[in-house]
Amino acid sequence: MLITSVPIFATEPRAGLPGEEIHVTLFIKGVTDIVSPFAGFTYEKDDSFFLKLPEKEGLELINLKITKADGEISEITLPLMIKKISSKLFIYTPEATTEKVSVAGSFNGWNANSDIMEKTSSGKFEILMTVPPGIHSYKLVIDGKWITDPANPEKSADGFGGFNSILSIKEKKVKTPFQKRESLEGGKWKLVFSYFDDAFKGYKVILYYRGEVREKVYDGTSVSFSLPEGEGLETVYLWASDRDGNFSPMCIIPKNFSEEPSWPQTVIYSLMTDRFYNGDKSNDNPVVMDGLSPKANYMGGDFAGIKQKIEDGYFARLGVNCIWISPVIDNVGGAFKDALPPHRYFTGYHGYWPASFVKTEERFGSAADLKAMIKTAHAHGIKVIDDMVFNHVHTEHPWYGEHPEWFGKLELPNGEKNIRKFDEYPFTTWFDSFLPSFDYSNGKAVEAVVKNALWWIEEFGFDGARLDAVKHIPYNFWKAFAGATKETFGSKFYMVGESIASRKDINSFVSAEMLDGQFDFPLYWPIRDVFALGKENYKMLSEQLGDSLENYKNVYYMSPLLGNHDFPRFMAYADGDITGDEKKIGWENPPRVDNPESYGKIKNAFTFLLTNPGIPMIYYGDEIAMTGAADPDNRRMMMFDNTGKNEKDVFDHVSKLLHSRAKSPAVTMGRHDDLLTEDKLWAYIKHYFQDSVIVVFNAHKQKRKLVLKLPEYVPAGGFYKSIFTGRKYKIKKGQVVIKTEAASSDVFCFSQSD
């Protein structure tokens, strides 16, 4: 019998709820049979199977024996964490005659009809629901009207000008041991963990690596593991269980064995090609049309301009190693009227109106120009992500004329137009009357779009894809696309999705079978509220960060952000310019930065963004504090000249953060612990074995001195040094005293010697 290794992406640990049935696909070619002694196992076909989870919480180790057509046999262990669910009683007391009340939130897919409250004899409405641990957003739906829960004072912005109620469900957590030390010796990766407390003696420490499970008992001092040295990015999964058999949450520990930065060590710079830099004026061809504003027309940016800025060293000076460019595919040539009031005209300068499946947008450059830009990026150590649009095409796209059966209908049976009906028809609604959405219940549409996407990736050598409107495209498409992409290009190709949704809904598209990660919009709103608007405090942000760190399947592949091309810029919020209709403001009263304090706000926000794990995204121009209201005002031409002292100061701040981040495994792959959390003061430590970084925020208008007690894993002696000022603070008796400026943030890296 031949025993072989299995790719790690095929065997990542899974999580589920008691009694849940989950479907698993391993993405291994040529599988003819899978067997397992696990009681809830049912083989489906090929490399897929079902698992019926037991009615208990804890860690299950699923042993699998996989047979392939050539007789090759693989034996692997799949860890599966079964999470506890809790009960919550929702009560609504009506103020007027009420017929129907329901609860809709992140825990039930925001379905207003799935959990209907019952009317009691007292006239109140009640429902007892099971809710998994975590921080959840929800609303009550009163006779069709969505409101926050009057009985719950906890709220958070919903991203649409209103609020969601917030429900926090806590669970008993078993502590995982701290990362004490790691080393590479003789082809072995040696890991040492410790609780630094003999009270944990007898706890089991379970480690999962490359399809194998190792288990040791903590002896009161430390636990050591010796693993085979890997290639590229490898991942260790760690659990602990107490003496009563309760399990900790899963702890993910990445390790990059290559000199090339892995995706968790990558920072994405998002740019709109037309609005970045004009490197070739010969392809300038704005649309000429009465009533078309220059704001909504082509401005001349192109592939040649991006290439020039790579060669000029702009990205190297800033410190980013990946650029996400707007869609490169050919767009329709003219201007089209928005279906919704005030019915303004727009061109396809943004790239989201595909009118071809093989041609690049001529105003951006030829296929040769695009290849030259990508080749230059790669030569400078910069990855390139393409923005891929799979939800729709333009009516002038040949597919719409040749295969109308691949698309949803614009006219509904009742005569209404199916435009932006995101709740009623989330997978077939049109974004506009000239943008037919695919109907992926048609398998031929799925096959054609996936095949075409693979051609673009291979032809031009893209390193990843930003995927538009993920939640409006059904799971069957994403499984087909992700499966084909991973099979063709391997696990190094990164797929990041855009879903403005709850963490639960975002998570539903992230797995070994689908996307690698998504943008962390649930964290975007608190970042904006705290740093730009000053509406919330650091305690709230700490909780929201904790929810992201704990609940995403692999937070190191998620992408946090300060803003993007769909929202007013951070500086417009920070400067108090978004006080009404954000689109109207952009057209009639475009913001400019008037308050010098706003530059400090975006610097503090960048400190937060760039000192936490994931693959952070920077929207072009934010690094120099550009402002702008809603689309298209937030898509102004990038400024490379005539920047003032404040803009250069923000650039320098971001650049120092990025260059420090690139050298710090504690920031990119480490563990997070809060050292001090108050409304206006926050200090946390990022820790990866011997490496640690302290980050502090002071929202007070006066300087503060922080006395920080350090965790046991920080070695005695040594000091922490500011990446901005170079000032050093010595460690004495297990603590460090740090001075902070007013309304500021700072980052301190650990060192044991000069």
Instruction: Beginning with the edge strand found earlier in the chain, give each strand of the sheet holding 322-325 in spatial order.
Output: 517-518, 494-497, 464-467, 383-388, 322-325, 268-271, 617-619
**Can the peptide bond before residue 632 be classed as cis, meaning omega within 30 degrees of 0?**
yes
Grouping H, G, I as helix, E, B as strand and the rest as coil, residue 471 is: helix
d(CA 253, CA 208): 10
Burial class of residue 34 (count of CB atoms within 10 Å of its CB; 0-12, 13-18, 19+): buried
Name the CA dihedral angle for 752, 546, 60, 190, rounded to a multiple of 10 degrees: -10
Q: How far apart are CA 75 and CA 96, in angstroms?
A: 63
CA distance 101 to 94: 9
Element at 294 (helix H, strand E): none
* 669-751 CATH pick, 2.60.260.20, 2.60.40.1180, 2.40.50.140, 3.40.50.10950: 2.60.40.1180
- Hey, what amino acid is at 528? R
Q: Which residues of the chain have pLDDT under 70?
A: 1-15, 84-85, 171-172, 754
The span from the CA of 629 to the CA of 582, in Å, is 6
Report which DSSP code applies to 529. Answer: I
> Please, which residues bridge with residue 464 across strands?
385, 494
Task: Cis check for the bond before 596: say yes or no (omega within 30 of 0).
Answer: no
Alpha-carbon gap, residue 104 to 125, rounded angstroms: 14
Q: Are 439 and 392 in contact (CB under 8 A)?
A: no
Q: Which residues contact 427 (CB under 8 A, 6 or more apart)?
A: 408, 437, 439, 440, 472, 473, 474
- Decide: 387 and 468 in contact? Cβ < 8 Å: yes
Write a three-state SS string for 179-219.
Answer: EEEEEEECCEEEEEEECCCHHHCCCEEEEEECCEEEEEECC
Q: Which two tokens stand for residue 682?
A: 């926050």
Amino acid letter, residue 379: A
Contact criterion met (CB below 8 Å) for 32 and 68: yes
Contact between 64 and 77 (Cβ < 8 Å): yes
Instruction: Specify whether the CB–CB gap between 19 and 477 falls below 8 A.
Output: no
> Is 420:431 a contact under the CB 8 Å cutoff?
yes
**CB atoms inside a 10 Å sphere around CB 414:** 5
Structural tokens at position 345: 């005209």
- Reading phi first (left if > 0) and then psi (alpha if -120 to 50, else beta), residue 734 is in left
β pairing state of 617-619 and 268-271: parallel
Q: Checking DSSP bridges between strand 383-388 and strand 464-467, what pairing results, if any?
A: parallel
Which residues is 695 bridged to in the sheet? 684, 747
Please give the structure tokens belonging to residue 439: 């109907």
Domains 8-82 and 669-751 share a fold: yes
What CATH superfamily is the domain 178-256?
A: Immunoglobulins (2.60.40.10)
Those residues whose C-beta lies under 8 Å from the C-beta of residue 379, and which sit 6 or more positions away, are none
Q: How far apart are CA 262 and CA 669, in angstroms?
A: 10
Q: What is the pLDDT of residue 13?
A: 64
Q: Tell me, what amino acid is at 193? A: F
pLDDT, residue 6, reads 34
> What pairing do the DSSP bridges indicate for beta strands 691-698 and 744-751?
antiparallel
**d(Cα 533, Cα 320) in Å, to the nearest integer?**
27
Q: What pLDDT is stored for residue 548 in this prediction?
A: 95
Assigned token pair, 307:
């290439």
**pLDDT in the model for residue 335:** 97
Give the per-residue pLDDT at 178: 96
Main-chain phi, psi angles of 572, to 5 degrees: -65, -40
Cβ-based neighbours of 747, under 8 Å, separated by 6 or more: 607, 611, 657, 660, 693, 694, 695, 722, 723, 724
Give pLDDT tens digits for 171-182: 667 899 999 999
CB 557 within 8 A of CB 614: yes
Q: Does domain 264-352+367-388+444-662 have CATH number 3.40.50.720?
A: no
470-510, pLDDT tens digit by residue? 999 999 999 999 999 998 998 899 999 999 988 988 988 99
Q: Which two tokens stand for residue 418?
A: 């199916």
Who's near 263: CB < 8 A, 6+ residues apart? 233, 464, 492, 494, 516, 556, 557, 615
Q: How many residues does the chain have?
A: 754
E strand residue ranges, 143-298: 145-147, 155-157, 163-169, 178-185, 188-194, 204-209, 212-217, 223-228, 233-241, 251-256, 268-271
CA–CA dist 448, 357 (Å, integer): 10
Q: Where are the domains of the chain?
A: 8-82, 86-169, 178-256, 264-352+367-388+444-662, 669-751
Q: Domain 86-169: which CATH class?
A: mainly beta
- Rounded to whole angstroms, the Cα distance separating 467 from 456 reads 14
Nearest CA among 715, 680, 686 for reference residue 699: 680
pLDDT of residue 752: 87
Q: CB of 635 within 8 A of CB of 230?
A: no
DSSP annotation string for 444-469 = HHHHHHHHHHHHHHHHHT-SEEEETT
pLDDT at res. 5: 31
DSSP sequence for 594-636:
--THHHHHHHHHHHHHTTSSS--EEETTGGGT----STTGGGP
Alpha carbon 350 to chain centroid, angstroms: 22
| Multiple choice CATH, 8-82, 3.40.50.720, 2.60.40.10, 3.20.20.110, 2.40.50.100 | 2.60.40.10
Structure confidence at residue 14 (pLDDT): 66
Contact yes or no for 413/428 (Cβ under 8 A)? no
Predicted local distance difference test score (pLDDT) of residue 438: 97
Residue 450's nearest CA partner among 428, 427, 473, 431 is: 473
